[in-house]
Structure 1
Amino acid sequence: MMSTTWFESVIEAQRRAKKRLPGSVYSALIAGSEKGLTLADNLSAFEELRFAPRTAGHAPERQLGTTVLGRDVALPVLISPTGVQAVHPDGEVAVARAAAARGTSMGLSSFGSKPIEEVVAANPNTYFQIYWTGTRDDIRRRLDRARAAGAVGIILTLDWSFSHSRDWGSPRIPEKLTVKEMLRFSPEALTHPRWLLDYARTRRLPDLSVPNMAEPGTPIPTFFGAYGQWMQTPPPAWDDVRWLRAQWDGPFLLKGIIRVDEARRAVDAGVSAISVSNHGGNNLDGTPATIRALPSIADAVGDQVEVLLDGGIRRGSDVVKALALGARAVLIGRAYLWGLAANGQAGVENVLDVLRNGIDSTLLALGRRSVQDLSRDDVIVPAGFTAELGRVQGQEADGLTPQH
């Protein structure tokens, strides 16, 4: 008999998360920047793609495993790094355990609520995510800590700029839960007792501290303190990306590519992989969906670096569409956070199982034996679907060689 806590879709995980979480916590998970055009397009673009199924000759078993950055994963779905995961007391550690249980990789945000040492202990296949924050010496110290903790690779996130507004309003999130803030927040918490009880059992309150941004001998900063440092740091140039790459001799993923010309610059900087990303619709609103930009980027650099995608993944069939259009694997963010909110570690495992089952059934219908067998023949791409950014009248921007 199936457990009553089990859910059959990512959308059901979202519904349960909405029911369990205080309104301000839930709204922080779902909102995008400004009007939310990019957030909506990340989702709706997948709906425009159709499949070309086969009806006979299907493989009795399908192979979902692949390799990403030289490491085996049991399915082509990785955990994208997201900031402070106060939707559940165990936060990133629960997510790391779930990813390990399902045989995939964990991305840990430098703005995460759990120290990297605990997360790597829960999942040895952990990548540490870096924002360009502070001085080069500050960044080098974070890399040294990640290396000492056993991180298998680095994720440099560049697809995040300051969003000045959200049309639906940004939730008020306190820097610290003072007595005054607790009184203000109490009506929300009291109407969501299960979420409050989760924290009561740990005998500690949710907070927004980010231990991975702490410097030796200094107090652990809050999320907003670290965010302030990020805002005051001049944005990196491509020379900075090359410098950072030289500091790390292992796998190096650059997250945030949406243009062909910048994909080529990433290759020139020596990265191991890129993720086609718009920060889940939380960067510049009006940017096309990542799945629209994927084909031209995969065509341009897919034979030189691994190409991943994040943004809008809600179903196993979405994963298959991304792989068919050139991605090696995808990263998920909101999907696993909803699972975490709904049922902790088991909820994240549930989300990964939902995606695995969807990938498998889609491969069966397409007559494919393995995720490596997928090709563009498996999807129907409507005219005008693809967004080829970074090309100017047949010649790529910055004087780079065009692809024909």
Structure 2
Amino acid sequence: MLRNPWFETVAEAQRRARRRLPYAVYGALLAGSERGSTVADNVAAFGELGFAPRVVGHHPKRDLSTTVLGMPTAMPVLISPTGVQAAHPDGEVAVARAAATRGVIMGLSSFASQPVEAVVAANPATAFQIYWSGGRDTIVQRMERARSAGCTALIVTLDWSFSHGRDWGSPTIPERVDLRTMLRMAPDVLPHPGWLWRFARAGRLPDLTTPNMRQPGGGVPTFFGAYREWQESTPPTWADIAWLARQWGGPVLLKGVSRVDDARRAVDAGVTALSVSNHGGNNLDTTPATIRLLPSIAEAVGDQVEVLLDGGIRRGGDVAKALALGARAVLIGRAYLWGLAANGQAGVENVLDILRGGLDSAVLGLGHASTDELGPDDLAVPDGFTRTLGGTR
């Protein structure tokens, strides 16, 4: 056990996750397509933006709360849906509990290792994420299961994944984990006894199945089984997205927008929110960082739908910068997974506390009383920083 399980930065959470996790698991968390240019730019771009702080008129109390997808949240940070969380035996349930204790919204992947019913029980403020996978009847069945479980919002992910190669090599991820697989992977696993001990104490092996992708009358597919279903499905049209939004009938977040024309088409399709996203660098490599694309998209459709951003968030200051450039909120992925690996539910809470503290410091230093007051004047934006794809603003 660590002498001090608490950490003060997301970077330290990442360092602890790297020490604790076998490479196959840690490498999957780092995953980015091809040479990782987009992964790197997602993070580095935030460092190019400067703050313009004020020195007088600070507010003694700041309000960081908002609403997203019709749900209140204590701060504009949402848990982004990520699949098969083998970093910890409690996986998405631990993350959902952490999010609930900190008053933030949980995004649950349809590729999750925990069933939607268990996650909603841990955090009623859960948005269910779905891929366009299988036929319309299958998609409706999965949506209705999420609705019956208590989800009130839907996340439709369309930015994953047209590019699979990684220049540094992909980690070996097995179809399923059984005794034979554990023996084969022992050289990678045994140097990380803490990770192994957590699963041994829980009385189970890492679960690579996807219970939320079950088809009626069928078994629970493995991650790769669900992935194959997605690969074999005909990609959706804008008419399909409009149909899906009508079928759900509640808040729908379309995740994966990088172009202004796509943002406008998403509005026309009837979604209530969109996320400027490149799937954390797991789509086409060399796609610009999402924070570079945000201003043009927010300007084009921000008065019609909620605009969110994901990709590269590592500090509370990054959250403030995204809000200043037009985002209503951000989604985090790798940051909370590193926290989960480092210290389970408490590690995820730790990451959320770090982001909240950094965001509060930024709002204070910029002379505001709430996150709603953040705007472009709070930043030093270098010439040529932004990118506009797919038409004019």
- Both proteins in one fold, TM over 0.5: yes
Separation in 2 of the partners of 1:114 and 1:140? 20
| Structure 2 counterpart of 1:360 | 360
| Structure 2 counterpart of 1:275 | 275
Deviations 1:319-363 (A, max 9, x none): 000000000000000000000000000000000000000001111
Separation in 2 of the partners of 1:227 and 1:163? 14
Deviations 1:263-299 (A, max 9, x none): 0000000101000000000000010000000000000
Give the partner amino acid of 2:327.
A
| Number of equivalenced pairs | 392
| Structure 1 counterpart of 2:220 | 220
| Structure 2 counterpart of 1:399 | none
Q: CA deviation at 1:67?
A: 1.1
Separation in 2 of the partners of 1:61 and 1:10? 25
Separation in 1 of the partners of 2:179 and 2:236? 39
C-alpha RMSD over aligned residues? 1.1
Q: Report SS of the residue matched to 1:72.
A: strand
Separation in 2 of the partners of 1:71 and 1:145? 20
Separation in 2 of the partners of 1:329 and 1:177? 37
Separation in 2 of the partners of 1:5 and 1:360? 23
| Structure 1 counterpart of 2:77 | 77
| Structure 1 counterpart of 2:4 | 4
Give the partner amino acid of 1:200.
A
Q: Report SS of the residue matched to 2:253.
A: strand
Separation in 2 of the partners of 1:177 and 1:156? 29
| Structure 1 counterpart of 2:127 | 127
Q: Report if the CA contact (8 A) 2:52-2:380 is conserved.
A: yes
| Structure 2 counterpart of 1:108 | 108
Q: Report SS of the residue matched to 1:88.
A: coil
Of 182-191 and 11-20, the range deviating more from structure 2: 182-191
Q: CA deviation at 1:31?
A: 2.2
Q: Report SS of the residue matched to 1:255.
A: strand
Give the partner amino acid of 2:189.
A
| Structure 1 counterpart of 2:325 | 325
Q: Report if the CA contact (8 A) 2:178-2:205 is conserved.
A: no
| Structure 2 counterpart of 1:262 | 262
Separation in 2 of the partners of 1:105 and 1:166? 32
Separation in 2 of the partners of 1:295 and 1:162? 25
Give the partner amino acid of 1:142.
R
Q: Report SS of the residue matched to 1:107.
A: strand
Mapping for residues 283-294 of structure 1, pairs under 5 Å = 283-294=283-294
| Structure 1 counterpart of 2:242 | 242
Deviations 1:376-404 (A, max 9, x none): 0000111111100011xxxx5xxxxxx5x
Q: Are positions 1:97 and 2:110 aligned together?
A: no
Separation in 2 of the partners of 1:317 and 1:195? 31
Q: CA deviation at 1:23?
A: 1.3
Q: Report if the CA contact (8 A) 2:260-2:297 is conserved.
A: yes
| Structure 1 counterpart of 2:148 | 148
Separation in 2 of the partners of 1:70 and 1:24? 38
| Structure 1 counterpart of 2:25 | 25
Give the partner amino acid of 2:287.
T
Deviations 1:152-205 (A, max 9, x none): 110000001232310010011111123332111112221111110000011110
| Structure 2 counterpart of 1:400 | none
Separation in 1 of the partners of 2:307 and 2:144? 26
Percent of paired sites with the same residue: 69
Give the partner amino acid of 2:318.
D
Q: Report SS of the residue matched to 2:185.
A: helix
Separation in 2 of the partners of 1:356 and 1:98? 14
Give the partner amino acid of 1:237.
T
Separation in 1 of the partners of 2:280 and 2:177? 28
Mapping for residues 329-344 of structure 1, pairs under 5 Å = 329-344=329-344
Deviations 1:3-54 (A, max 9, x none): 8111000000000000110111101101210010100100111011011100
| Structure 2 counterpart of 1:165 | 165
Unaligned runs of 5+ in 2: none
